[in-house]
């Protein structure tokens, strides 16, 4: 089920600039699904080799709620596999990379334990080995972290938490 992906390519990367920012680089990727619709994958690179992955249909990229809608195109398994392949490519270039994502809420759904979070968590638990990554979840925020066991940054989890509290103002 999660063995076939779409061909993808890197569009570009941007650096937000400014001293004291936690976000270092934004990597932008794209691929086209079987529906001939284009998907955009945004991988935000932060301090401590942390990469946060987001994706949406290109036609929604200018909307503030771009991550809160289902495509309805029945391409879920191949789209998630493609996003996983992008993560795998990043990991191959950076063996200390840790990853995270949020299962965005659908319209009318609360932010806690979202439908997407439950699906993504189920997939990640099955396909990412706990040997290389420590799996951490926050059901309250529908957030999932894959903490690289080879990353020797002291107190990495607490540093990541503090960084994301600053960025996302998580209560």
Taking only the tens place, the pLDDT of each residue in 78-136 is: 999 999 999 999 999 999 999 999 999 999 999 999 999 999 998 898 888 899 999 99
Q: Which domain holds residue 125?
A: 8-168
35 belongs to a structural domain: yes
49 belongs to a structural domain: yes
1 belongs to a structural domain: no
pLDDT at 138: 87
Identify the three-state secondary structure at position 19.
coil
Identify the three-state secondary structure at position 36.
coil
Query: Is the predicted pLDDT of residue 3 greater than 80, yes or no?
Result: no
- Count how many domains the chain has: 1
> Which residues are 101's β-sheet partners?
144
Q: Taking Cα atoms as reference points, which of 47, 64, 54 lies closest to residue 29? A: 54
pLDDT at 171: 44
pTM (2 d.p.): 0.90
Identify the three-state secondary structure at position 23.
strand
| Beta-strand pair 8-14/23-32 | antiparallel
70 belongs to a structural domain: yes
CB within 8 A of 6, min separation 6: which ones?
31, 32, 33, 34, 78, 79, 82
3 belongs to a structural domain: no
């Amino acid at each position: 089920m999660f063995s076939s992906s779409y061909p993808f390519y890197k569009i570009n990367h941007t650096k937000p600039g400014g001293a004291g920012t936690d976000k270092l680089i934004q990597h932008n990727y794209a691929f086209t699904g079987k529906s001939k619709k284009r998907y955009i994958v945004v991988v935000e690179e932060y301090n401590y080799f942390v990469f946060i992955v987001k994706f949406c249909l290109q036609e929604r990229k200018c909307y503030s709620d771009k991550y809160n809608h289902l495509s309805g195109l029945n391409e879920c398994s191949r789209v998630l596999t493609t996003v996983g392949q992008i993560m795998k490519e990043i990991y191959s270039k950076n063996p200390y990379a840790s990853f995270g994502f949020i299962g965005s809420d659908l319209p009318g759904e609360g932010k806690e334990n979202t439908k997407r979070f439950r699906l993504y968590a189920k997939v990640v638990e099955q396909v990412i080995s706990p040997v290389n990554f420590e799996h951490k979840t926050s059901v309250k925020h529908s957030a999932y972290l894959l903490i690289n066991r080879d990353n020797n940054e002291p107190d990495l989890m607490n540093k990541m938490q503090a960084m994301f509290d600053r960025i996302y103002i998580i209560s």
